[in-house]
Amino acid sequence: MAMAGQFTIEDIKRAIPTTMQAAVYRGVNDVRVETVPVPKIGAGELLIRVHTCGICGTDLKKISSGSHSAPRIFGHETSGVVAAAGQGVNQFKPGDRVVVFHHIPCGECYYCRHKTFAQCETYKKVGCTAGFEPSGGGFAEYVRVMAWIVDHGTVRIPDGISFEQACFVEPVNTCMKGIETLQLMPGESVLVIGQGPIGIMLSTLAKRSGATVVTSDLYPQRLTISKRFGLENGIDASRADTVKTVREQTEGRGADAAIVAVGGNGLIRTAMDAVRPGGRVLLFAQTVRGEATIDPAAICVDEKRLLGSYSASVELQKDSVQFVMSREMDLEGLISHRFSLSDSVEALKLAAHPQPDSMKIVIQAGSSWEGNRN
């Protein structure tokens, strides 16, 4: 059998091995590249040959915190090629290039009726797996996509759009949901704290809504990168007082809104101080449970609002697909490092300890395929 890097799209249609490589989570900060069985599919399901899978901060937090039982195979920002289709699947066939969402809600429960889709019990059941407890599975050569994800969460990649661009559909959706939660109005000012890949996407979408965007980061290299995406007004937080600078730019009031796009709770107070009375603060990266110190009078007396947004919204699926597939934003330009699946442990370590010039990191099981850019 040919090595993974030698496969063409036609090879994928013809030959499915019995075993594959995968980055297997075995415990806290313990991920190993192992040989595991290729998952079997049933009626209504798909088997996807993974090309590219982005590393998400939530993957890293699960690995570092031990919040999930082991073993598991994480990775959910997955694009690839249909290798096999189960009985009854008519909308996709082997050879189709696709990207998959790993969560889709039921659409009928209390939380779905109230449009809080991430709290739906069906949504919480991950619908993609490379083996073990379903956990996304994108850090592997093959992923099994379950029937409800095939029906409602699998998207065809248009010709001319790369697997790398396409793998951003789910993270873009989460950012769109955050911007919708913040309810930005044209002409409002918004501070985005953190200019990693998520911060740049949030900033771009905030600017797209008509807001005036101010960015901040401790690393000037990241502000330089964000300027490539048209985000010119950046604050080097290693040298300047972010709150003071924002107030100077807003006639002393503070921004209308702020987004905390950095994990941890230390910058929540900064964001609250940077917005005007009646302003809003969105927590986007605070996905680890714990405690944070806030000024309750800022919420009561100053009428500032503290908001949260987590995961994707099925209602924004078409919008996020259109944004990505139309290349309204050059999302590939956010990728700083590409690792083979055999080097996935190194990839995860770099993502967990980002450098000033490291941005989006992806793991690629099929980066040498023939036609991987189309």
pLDDT at 372 over 50: no
Note the CATH architecture for domain 4-161+327-364: Alpha-Beta Complex (3.90)
pLDDT at 353 over 60: yes
Domain(s) labelled CATH 3.40.50.720 in the chain stretch across: 173-308
Instruction: Please give the average per-residue pLDDT across 67-90, as a whole number.
Output: 97
pLDDT at 259 over 50: yes
User: To 5 degrees, how large is the angle CA 188–CA 189–CA 191?
Assistant: 145
Q: What pLDDT sits at residue 369?
A: 63
* Most distant CA pair in the chain, distance: 69
Structure tokens at 262: 């950095």
**Of the given ranges (43-57, 151-165, 360-374), which has the lowest mean pLDDT?**
360-374
pLDDT at 4 over 60: no
- Per DSSP, 259 falls in state E
pLDDT band at 368 (very low <50, low <70, confident <90, very high): low
Q: What pLDDT sits at residue 13?
A: 60
pLDDT digits (tens, 9 = 90+) for 35-47: 999 999 999 999 9
**What are the C-alpha distances in Å from 286 to residues 193, 245, 278, 310?**
13, 24, 22, 9
What whole-number percentage of the chain has pLDDT above 70? Answer: 94
Q: What pLDDT sits at residue 8?
A: 67
pLDDT digits (tens, 9 = 90+) for 145-157: 999 999 999 999 9
Report phi then psi at 214, rounded to 5. Answer: -115, 130
Mean pLDDT of the chain: 94
Instruction: Please give the average per-residue pLDDT across 308-328, as a whole number.
Output: 97
Q: Which CATH number is 173-308 given?
A: 3.40.50.720
pLDDT digits (tens, 9 = 90+) for 206-224: 999 999 999 999 999 999 9
What whole-number percentage of the chain has pLDDT above 90? Answer: 90
pLDDT band at 15 (very low <50, low <70, confident <90, very high): confident
Helix pair 317-325, 169-182: axis angle to 10 deg:
120
Distance of CA 63 to the CA centre of its chain: 16
Instruction: Please give the average per-residue pLDDT across 293-321, as a whole number.
Output: 96
pLDDT band at 26 (very low <50, low <70, confident <90, very high): very high
Instruction: Please give the average per-residue pLDDT across 261-276, as a whole number.
Output: 95
Q: What pLDDT sits at residue 1?
A: 28
pLDDT band at 200 (very low <50, low <70, confident <90, very high): very high
Distance in angstroms (rounded) separating the CA atoms of residues 135 and 96: 23
Domain(s) labelled CATH 3.90.180.10 in the chain stretch across: 4-161+327-364
Q: Which of 142, 163, 5, 22 is nearest to 84 (CA)?
A: 142
pLDDT at 3 over 50: no
Beta strand ranges found along the chain (DSSP E):
19-27, 30-37, 46-54, 77-85, 97-100, 128-129, 142-145, 154-156, 189-193, 212-217, 234-236, 255-260, 275-283, 305-308, 335-340, 360-364
Q: What is the DSSP string of 26-93?
A: EETTEEEEEEEEPPP--TT-EEEEEEEEEPPHHHHHHHHHT-S-SSB----EEEEEEEEE-TT--S--
